[in-house]
Each structure stands twice: as C-alpha cells, then as structure tokens.
Amino acid sequence: MTALLGACELGLLMAVMSLGVFLSFRILNVPDLTIDGSFTTGCAVSAVCSGMQMHAFGLGMAVLCGALAGLITGILQTKGKIQPILAGILTMTGLYSINLRIMGSKPNLFLENTLFLQIKELFPSSYSELILILVFLLVVIGILVLFFTTQLGLALRATGDNEAMVKASSINSDAMIILGLSLANAIVAFSGALFVQYQGFSDINSGTGMMVIGLASVIVGEVFLTSRRLPVRFLSVVCGALLYRFILTFALQLGLEANDMKLLSAVLVIAAISFPHMLRRRYHA
C-alpha cells in the first residue's frame, strides 16, 4: 500500500516534468536535452531557498531559472544556428557547473524543513503529500490549457507544425521557439523543485535521465490514450507518467535493483515506440 502511494506521488511529480517534455517534444517538435540540466537547476534553487526557509519563494525562483535555461537553448538554436539537439546538450553541460555553484559546490544538500513537511504538520494525513502534488499538477495543467486557448498558444502549436506557414502569417517563429523552450524548461525546473521539497534533499545528478522518463511518459501515454484535443493529451501524459512509475515499482518488487532502473527505462521507451509499429506491420502484411 505504501509502495502504491509512493508510486502515485512520484508518478504525479514526474507527470509535471513530463508535461514540460511534451511541450518541447510534441508541441514544438524539438528534442530538447536541456531538461536533464534544468531539472537539477530547479532542485538546486529550491534546496538553497529552503535552506533559508523560503520554500514557496524557492518554487518561484526555480520556475524563473528554468525559463532562463530554456531561453538560452532557444537563443542558441534560433540566433546561434546550432542544431536543436546540440544546443540542448551544450546548455545542459554548462548547467552542470552552474548547478554546482548554486548548491555551494556540494554534490548534495539535505533539508531539515520543506514545504511538504509544513503542510503535513497543518494537515496530518498520509495523503497530504499526494494531494499537494495533485494540486500543483492541476495548476500547471490549468495554466497550459488556458495558454493554448490564446492566439499565442495557437501560434506556438503552429510553429512546431509548419514554420514556413507561421512566418508567412507574420509571426516571429524564432520568438515562438524561444518562448516554447522557456515555458517547457520552467515547468521542468518547477517539477525539480517540487521533487526536492518532496524527498527532502537535492543531488547534482537528480536530473540525469529525466528526458528519457519524460519521453517514456509521453509515449506510453499515447499508446493508451490519443486525441486531437490538447486537454486530453495532457491527461494522456499524466497517465503515461503514472503507468511508467507503476511498472518501475512493480519491477523493483520483483527483485530488480534500483541501479537497473535506467536500463529498464530505456527498454520501456524502445518498446513503447517500436511495439505498436511491429504489431501494425504484422496485421497489414
């Protein structure tokens, strides 16, 4: 039961992060590897702020710093004419040093007090963490849904779909890419901050593999729930993140070690992408 609860909590945390991956990967159509770095940035900023007892402020700062990371990748891509994947890798690499600086050159920080501990004091229940994460997740989804009903949101979607058409409609597509990457990384850093508040410590390697987890969530979600409507697609990402976490938890219970999780993650993504294709080929052959 506690394992299931923990899986739900972690799954929903990763759902927040995966929404950021969804934005860059699916909406903007850009594989953005900044994410591994900006997640850790969110962790680091949040941990440092919490050290000064400014938990909520830390969440806000994490969002800002994440947006800044995305901004840099976006500028590298559009103005610096660096290929999207490389631009992300460069930012991510640079962020490693910056993240270490933020954490005062310590590879990990442990927190005595966090937002989650405070909430638990206020509402003592074993579900208080889950509910808090759910609230944050719903806020993020709500903002995204609202955002995508505006002309700006539509322009962003169109940019990922057909850049030539977007320019011909007098929209600055470079600005859209920069904005989209900023938004995506802001969300990712926010989830990093929540992650730190939840588990009570920050590690310089927390972000490693986040891109793959995000991809897994997006793709596993799409295997089960696809739609043209964006709110449903957001929901699909959440389902994917939960499902992914359940599978990992199940594997752990079966006796796999924590160190095997990265391999399992990679295999899952491969399976989720390739399996549907292979099945289709068999039926159509």
Partner 1 sequence: MLRMENAHVVFHPQTDNERVALHDVDLHLKKDDFLCIVGGNGAGKTTLMNVISGTIKAQHGTLFLEDEDITNMAEHRRCAMIGRIFQDPLKGTAPHLTVLENLSLAYGRGRRSYFQKAVHKQDIAYFKERLAALGLGLEDRLDNEVGLLSGGQRQALTLIMATLIPPKLLLLDEHTAALDPKTAERIMQETERIISAYHIPAMMITHNLSQALRYGNRLLVMKDGSIIKDMGQQEKERLTIAELMHDYEIFS
By CB under 8 A, name the binding residues for partner 1. 148-155, 157-158, 161-162, 164-173, 228
SS3 201: strand
Nearer to partner 1, 34 or 173 (CB): 173
The candidate with the shortest Cα–Cα distance to 242, out of 6, 22, 42, is: 6
Comparing CB distances to partner 1, the nearer of 57 and 148 is 148
Q: How far is the CB of 269 from partner 1 (least distance, A)?
A: 22
Q: Which two tokens stand for residue 222?
A: 């799409």
Q: Please give the Cα distance from 19 to 239 (Å, whole number).
A: 11
Shortest CB 161 distance to partner 1, Å: 4
Which amino acid does the sequence have at 12?
A: L
Q: How far is the CB of 168 from partner 1 (least distance, A)?
A: 5
Overall size of the chain counted in residues: 285
C-beta of residue 198 within 8 angstroms of C-beta of residue 133? yes
Whether the Cβ atoms of residue 211 and residue 37 lie closer than 8 Å to each other: no
Cβ neighbourhood burial of 273 (10 Å; 0-12, 13-18, 19+): middle
C-alpha 257/C-alpha 237 separation (Å) is 26
Cβ at position 153, least distance to partner 1 in Å: 6
The Cα–Cα gap between 88 and 67 comes to 13
Q: By C-beta, is 93 or 149 nearer to partner 1?
A: 149
| 168 or 263: CB nearest partner 1 | 168
* Shortest Å distance, C-beta 165 to partner 1: 5
State the nearest-atom distance from the C-beta of 167 to partner 1, in Å. Answer: 5
Which of residues 125 and 162 has its CB atom nearest to partner 1 in the complex? 162
For residues 31 and 181, the answer to whether their CB atoms sit within 8 Å is no
What does the radius of gyration of the chain's CA atoms come to, in whole angstroms?
A: 19
Nearer to partner 1 by C-beta: 158 or 223?
A: 158
